[in-house]
Amino acid sequence: MHSKFLGAALALALGSGYAQDAFAQVKPEVMVEQRQAAMRLQAKYLFPLVPMAQGKIPWDAAIVTRNAGYLDVLIRLAWDGFDPGTQGVKSRALPEIYSDPAKFKAAQETVFADMTKFVTAAKSGNEAAAKTAIGDVAKACSGCHDTFRQRQ
Amino acid sequence: MHSKFLGAALALALGSGYAQDAFAQVKPEVMVEQRQAAMRLQAKYLFPLVPMAQGKIPWDAAIVTRNAGYLDVLIRLAWDGFDPGTQGVKSRALPEIYSDPAKFKAAQETVFADMTKFVTAAKSGNEAAAKTAIGDVAKACSGCHDTFRQRQ
């Protein structure tokens, strides 16, 4: 079984820019791609909720609950990609991430707290609280971007 | 609150290539980026488990359980990106995805079943079953890629 298993793993690895050596450090450019991937998916599942929270389109409790579950995971996946070793890779990440790690950490904790409120509200079917929390999550995202991401 | 809220949403949108109109269809190239993002993150959290399952590095139950929870969400996020409207966008997706949707759906169900086994084993602390399931998930990934993804 092990050789087949290894074959599968290598096939996956070869298709994804990973080093074939399982012990190798993840390359900085891969770390940047991974953190950008996490934020892209956060956008995919947060954005459709915003017009619902604003009352511009009908509230769909099934979509809201599903996306809350997805976002509860997705919100955790970018942070370890902000490794000092990635500073040489082209991205919109600002140096403040590394020069003021306490502030960056605080921004992380803000969005975690807002996300927890959202997930709790969505799971308990508290539509009003969920709507407020969606706004708070969006504001936490934007707040962090305003400080730590280069404007386009 | 609504205007601030909208501002935050638009700021997010502008940074992510989304249409500003909440009702607009997601663009095909964005759908491709989103499905690639999902697979990139699947790789991030699956690959480190493979050498653990193979006994090449120590089994870390905390990492395994955490990644199982992440992957249980991540495995669900790419499929809706294989919209027929994306066929004009450059990617490694093969036409078989659209010409044989039943086979594509079956591949999806295989990896869902393998992932469920993995998550169950990881959560219950069944190391042997989790190791087998990690191999099965990796094989399901590769099997689908072999059939539906262009070789590099």
Q: pLDDT tens digits for A27-70?
A: 999 999 999 999 999 999 999 999 999 999 999 999 999 999 99
The b/e string for B91-124 (b: 16+ C-beta within 10 A; e otherwise) is bebbeebeeeeeebeebbebbbebbebbbebbee
A54–B16 CB contact, under 8 Å:
no
Angle at B80 between CA B50 and CA A51, to 5 degrees: 120
* Alpha-carbon gap, residue A137 to B108, rounded angstroms: 31
* pTM score over 0.90: no
* Alpha-carbon gap, residue B144 to B152, rounded angstroms: 15
DSSP lists the bridge partners of residue B149 as: B93
* Alpha-carbon gap, residue A116 to A42, rounded angstroms: 15
- B122/chain A closest Cα distance in angstroms: 17
A139–B47 CB contact, under 8 Å:
no
- A128/chain B closest Cα distance in angstroms: 14
Write the residue in B18, B48, B142 that is nearest to A8 by C-beta: B142
Residues in chain B with CB shorter than 8 Å from the CB of A6 are: 50, 54
Question: Nearest Cα to B44, choosing from A84, A83, A42, A17?
Answer: A17
* Alpha-carbon gap, residue A39 to B11, rounded angstroms: 14
Query: Which long-range CB contacts under 8 A does A94-97 form with residues at least 24 apart?
Result: A94/A147, A94/A148, A94/A149, A94/A150, A96/A147, A96/A148, A97/A148
**Percent share of chain A, pLDDT over 70:** 84
State the pLDDT at residue B97. Answer: 98
State the pLDDT at residue A37. Answer: 98
Q: What is the pLDDT of residues A2-36, one digit of tens each?
A: 445 545 554 555 444 444 444 458 999 999 999 99
Q: What is the pLDDT of residues A75-113, one digit of tens each?
A: 999 999 999 999 999 999 999 999 999 999 999 999 999
B34–A41 CB contact, under 8 Å:
yes
State the pLDDT at residue A25. Answer: 81
Write the residue in B33, B135, B142 that is nearest to A40 by C-beta: B33
The b/e string for A101-140 (b: 16+ C-beta within 10 A; e otherwise) is eeebeebbebbeebbebbbebbeeeeeeebbbbbbbbbbb
A151: which 2 tokens? 């404007």
- A138/chain B closest Cα distance in angstroms: 6
State the pLDDT at residue B75. Answer: 98
A16–B40 CB contact, under 8 Å:
yes
Is residue B16 a contact partner of residue A150, using CB atoms and an 8 Å limit?
no
B135: which 2 tokens? 């191999």
Give CA torsion, residues A75, B74, B117, A5, to 10 deg: -120
- B100/chain A closest Cα distance in angstroms: 23
Residue of B nearest to A149 (CA): B15
* Alpha-carbon gap, residue B71 to B110, rounded angstroms: 15
B75, burial (CB in 10 Å: exposed 0-12, middle 13-18, buried 19+): buried
pLDDT in tens, chain B (152 residues): 444 554 555 455 444 444 444 445 899 999 999 999 999 999 999 999 999 999 999 999 999 999 999 999 999 999 999 999 999 999 999 999 999 999 999 999 999 999 999 999 999 999 999 999 999 999 999 999 999 999 98
